[in-house]
Structure 1
Amino acid sequence: MRITLTKHVALKSLGLAYVLLTSSSVFAQDKNAVVTAIVQEANSNSYLENYAFELVDMIGPRLVGSPQMQQAHDWVVKTYTALGAEARNEVYGEWRSWDRGTSQATMTYPRVKSLEGTQLAFSPATKGKGIEAEVVAMPVFSSASDFQAWLKTVKGKIVLIGMNPISGRSDANWKESASAAGYDKYQGLKNEQQKKWDLSMSYTEHTRRTLPLALEAAGAVAVIDSYWTELPGLTRIFDAKSKQIPVFNIALEDYGMLYRMAERGVKPRVLLEGNSKELGTAKTYNSIAEIKGKEKPNEYVVLSAHLDSWDGGTGATDNATGVITMMEAVRILQKVYPNNKRTILVGNWGSEEQGLNGSSAFVEDNPEIAKNIQVVWNQDNGTGRIVRIAGSGFEKSYEYISRWLQYIPEEFRKEIQTTFPGMPGTGGSDHSSFVQRGIPAFGLSSTSWDYGKLTWHTNRDTYDKIVFDEVRQNAIIVAILTYLACEEPELVSRDRIVLPIDKNGKQMEWPTNLKSKRTSGN
């Protein structure tokens, strides 16, 4: 059917269209003005280096349950309060409280040498003047019975449990400097060594983290490991599972020396001194900051970053960079967007490293907040600029995220790759705690800066590895996305995709595997 408009009606309609178009243009201009102000404030008045100094250098590593973690919680609350937010430490459980203290490893025979290394987190302390004993290296086993027979020989010994790689040079160094034939030969030997070691470990029925329990039961007096990252001088620092004997991690360069001596029958001796302290249990918290919305105070845009870390370094890129990114975004928004429509809630989660416990507990404990969350922005993978955003399995995530991204400065936006609708995460970082409850939550993934080998849970995750220009860029992106999420007229869709069929022909289901641990004992 064709409709013919009278001249008057046509002009009236045209006028209405002009008004709507003009209003939309003014609205867009207003948004662009706020975005411009965000960028200017971030670039001219950054607080990032101050925040990093206080958190990374002054407080240091933030092992869950430790006194340093409590200091970090209190610093976060104090800093957000100074920014005008309502801040609190919200209890969700308790954890074993352990203080590292000082630790030292010294080879005393066949010569005296200080060794580069430290106790693992939660390791039992050494008593008196330390533990000095002969060092033996765990061999490659050919069967389970072979392992059981060897266990009878470790009483009174310090045991090396890690594989000693055939080279302490990085793969990149080999590829750059070796001949093609030499590189291929090295790769073959490396792969064969790893294959044999993995088979040998299977006979023990343990991982490197649980093996000390078997050695403890067999009478060993201490354990030394070296969890090399394949870069010189770098080693991963996790936790000890032993109950009575200390576990140390020694840098490959010194570990390999001990290993070669033990293999050749030198019988090296090492003195281990670990002055850690058991402090009972301590309350565990999430540090929460809120800037109440002026129009919709019961709807929330959540900025998410875990506060805890392992304690081999100082937790700079895992995850102080995420914490200060969110803090800087809030500082900027308080200055340029004081009338935020929705409540901006910052979650600085505890015990992420033990299983996303803090964020999972928050969602479980705050159903009224959870049901009214607009979106969650999570940052937790190093110091690099944000370059990837996936839709986490929310069917219509592209509609709003793609629209909001258009306001990001072009030089930032052109690098950001999006994947919609994406897939819901089963873990990895704190946005998964929200996604699994059907809340639109998104990881803001960054460029690597060799995160996996250089700083992730290593002894070199320190302030000097922070690239502040890229963290500043991230704070700008988070501030803009938060502003736009606050301004969105309605709560965004929570519709989920129908997940595909898995490789076994079964219909995949939305993950629900994350449950918070409230104590270190369960």
Structure 2
Amino acid sequence: MKKLILLFMICCVFSSTIVFSQSKEEIINSIVEEGEGNSQLESLAHELMDLVGPRLVGTPQMKNSNDWVISKYEDWGIEAENQEYGKWRGWERGITHVDMLEPRVVSLSAMQLAWSPSTSKKGIIANVITFPEEVEDSISFQKWLSNVKGKIVLISMPQPTGRPDYNWEEFAKEESFEKMKEERDAQTEAWREKINATGYNYRNFNEALENAGAVGLIQSRWSNGFGANKIFSANTKKIPVVDMSLEDYGMIYRLAKSSNTPKLKIVSESKDLGTVPTFNTIAEIKGTQKPEEYVILSAHLDSWDGATGATDNGTGTITMMEAARILKKVYPNPKRTILIGHWASEEQGLNGSRAFVEDHPEIVENVQAVFNQDNGTGRVVRISGQGFLHAYDYIGRWLEAVPDTYKDEIETTFPGTPSRGGSDYASFVAADAPAFSLSSLSWSYWNYTWHTNLDTYDKIVFDDVRNNAILTAIMTYMASEDEETTSREKAVLPVNSRTGEQYSWPEPRSPQRDGGKD
């Protein structure tokens, strides 16, 4: 009789294992079918990039994006809320129009930088002046400064070519290509030395020109790609700062140096909105068996506003939203709670995620895993263990369940080393939570879309984003269902070859909660 009971129990265990295996397979198949057959990515991208637009912290568009995310989650039956964590300088971009009036009339390609002070509707009209060729020291620079009063100052080095290096490599003679690079390197180094000699740096140089009476500043921060410029912040209090296309900037610069002094008109309207609250948007699918343990889907919602922030980080945002939508539909009762964090002010120093980590230690202590996506539109090709000694065990288990189509290009590094910055997963790693970057294929991200005027909807590769949403949903499902709690044991970090000292684990850093004033 005892043998029969034992045999019956063994059969039951075996049967339940088969049922679980089939159930898991069915859920993964359902995730794939929903992600491929009913994808919402194109409509999400259209609404976020085309309708909401860029999401600079402190702007009405950033708050609109917070509210838009909540409305989408509500449509899918997912609870979400905006969590205020700080304040920022409120600002709204208006019209920018720059024209050359002399020696001929032409409209120029330019846009104001973030938080630039506004001109009047009539704008400003003034001659331009270039930075002097020779600045020996801070004394000679102070003597020259009186020349900028009433002028528009050109503050960037004029680039010798607007062709990216790969274009030269394809078409130029080798000696011509090498000559260009040598001359450009020498010019760049001379410009850097000239700036250093002033006694100022790139952070306070604009302020010095403003204080000396300049009425406007023009930069051209080329991103080493056709038509691509980096668009960051103005760093002035009263006068406008605009970024101009490489080709127009070069023309203006050459005219000024050849004594054909250009006269420009700059209309650069904006609104100073005082101090406004800043929010993270947090969504939740409550766990049923271990509700106090968490799998977190992570992506920053904010962007710079030179374009619409499509690949930085619109694609990361819609990846996590789509993964959450799929999971809610095919896996509505997860074992662990699934949180989706849409962070603000990542671009100014991971402020939103650092605030969340600082404000919610009870969640951070019980994180099973964080999956973060934030480097462009490409399919995921790299995952690092971030220095967690046993990351191979659990990441390996979860990846094993992913169909080859969605993982066959992924290279893993275990245990890896902990990130100290770069994106929001670093905020969690510093607090000892197992957080991982789903790092993407480049698609020329750094030169063409990262913080540029070209980061727009048309750069999104939806097949790759769809791949990432399905991969994220499956990894989240596996992490939620895992019988084991992930280990936080840290690997012994390597020695820094430069200093000879062993690397240390990053320390948590407090966010900037009252920013953007300077």
TM-score range for the pair, normalised by the shorter chain length: over 0.9
Q: Corresponding residue for 1:195?
A: 189
Please tell me whether residue 67 in structure 1 is matched to residue 46 in structure 2. no
Equivalent residue, structure 2, for 1:519? 514
Which residue, out of 172, 178, 181, partners 2:175?
Answer: 181
Distance, in Å, in 2 between the alignment partners of 1:187 and 1:100 is: 37
Instruction: Give the match's secondary structure for 1:51.
Output: helix
**1:486 alignment partner, SS class:** helix
1:303 maps to 2:297: yes
Contact 2:84/2:277, CA 8 A, preserved across alignment: yes
Q: How does 1:272-351 map to 2 (within 5 A)?
A: 272-351=266-345
Offset at residue 513 of structure 1 (A): 5.4
Aligned position for 1:46: 39
Q: In percent, how many aligned pairs have the same letter?
A: 53
- Cα separation, 2, equivalents of 1:76 and 1:19: 45
In structure 2, what is the equivalent of residue 370 of structure 1?
Answer: 364
Residue 506 (1) aligns with residue 509 (2): no
The residue identity in structure 2 corresponding to 1:250 is M
Distance 1:67 1:349 in 2: 16
Give the whole-Å Cα distance in 2 for the aligned partners of 1:112 and 1:73.
Answer: 43
Per mean C-alpha deviation after superposition, the further-off stretch among 63-72 and 150-159 is 150-159
Task: Say whether the 8 Å CA contact 1:63–1:309 is kept in structure 2.
Answer: yes
The 2-side partners of 1:334 and 1:175 are apart by 49
CA distance in 1, matches of 2:368, 2:359: 18
CA distance in 1, matches of 2:365, 2:21: 29
Q: Is 1:29–2:27 an aligned residue pair? A: no
Structure 1 gaps of 5+ residues are 1-7
Matched AA of 1:416: I
User: How many correspondences in the alignment?
Assistant: 515
What does 1:66-465 align with in structure 2 at a 5 Å threshold?
66-144=59-137, 145-465=139-459
C-alpha distance in structure 2 between counterparts of 1:178 and 1:18, whole Å: 73
> Residue type matched to 1:509 in 2?
S
> CA separation in 2, counterparts of 1:420 and 1:323?
27
Letter in 2 for 1:137: T
How big is each residue's C-alpha offset from its partner over 1:122-176, in whole Å with a ceiling of 9 and x where there is no partner?
0111135111100111134342233233222111110001011111111111111
Corresponding letter in the other structure for 2:69: V
3-state SS of paired residue (1:224): strand
CA RMSD of aligned residues (A): 1.9
1:205 and 1:246 mapped to 2: Cα distance? Answer: 23
| Structure 2 equivalent of residue 5 of structure 1 | none
Q: Secondary structure at the match of 1:300?
A: strand
CA distance in 2 between partners of 1:21 and 1:180 (Å)? 68
205 and 444 in structure 1: CA distance in 2 versus 1, 3 angstrom threshold: farther
- For 1:84, the aligned partner's letter is G
Give the letter aligned to residue 207 of structure 2.
L
- Following superposition, the deviation at residue 508 of structure 1 comes to 2.4
Given that residues 162 and 208 in structure 1 are in contact (C-alpha distance below 8 angstroms), is that contact kept between their aligned partners in structure 2? no
Cα deviation, residue 245, structure 1: 1.0
Q: How far apart are residue 16 of structure 1 and its match?
A: 7.5
C-alpha distance in 2 between matches for 1:295 and 1:204: 63
Provide structure 2 residue ranges, at least 5 long, that are not aligned to the other structure: none
Shift of 1:506: 2.6
Q: Which moved more, 1:132-141 or 1:433-442?
A: 132-141
AA aligned opposite 1:133: A
Greater mean alpha carbon deviation, residues 206-215 or residues 69-78: 206-215
TM-score by length of 1: 0.95
CA displacement, residues 323-380 of structure 1 (integer Å, 9 cap, x when unaligned): 1001100111111112211111000001000000000000111111111111100000
**SS in structure 2 of the partner of residue 271 of structure 1:** strand
Structure 1 stretches of 4+ with a deviation exceeding 4 A read 8-23
Q: CA deviation at 1:439?
A: 0.5
Matched residue of 1:202: which SS? helix
In the aligned structure 2, how far is the partner of 1:504 from the partner of 1:315?
A: 38
User: 1:88, 1:214 → 2: CA distance?
Assistant: 43
1:148–1:14 distance in 2 versus 1, CA, 3 Å: farther
Q: Do 2:407 and 2:471's aligned partners in 1 also have CA atoms closer than 8 Å?
A: no
- Aligned with 1:438: secondary structure? coil
Deviation at 1:185, TM superposition (A): 1.3
Which amino acid in structure 2 is aligned with residue 30 of structure 1?
A: S
Q: Do 2:427 and 2:508's aligned partners in 1 also have CA atoms closer than 8 Å?
A: no
Secondary structure at the counterpart of residue 152 of structure 1: helix
Aligned equivalents of 1:508, 1:272: Cα separation in 2:
50
Partner residue of 2:50?
57
Query: Helix, strand or coil: the match of 2:134?
Result: coil
In the TM superposition, what whole-angstrom CA distance separates every residue of 1:76-122 from its partner, at most 9, and x where no partner exists?
Answer: 11111111111100000111000001111111111111111111000
The amino acid that maps onto 1:183 is: F
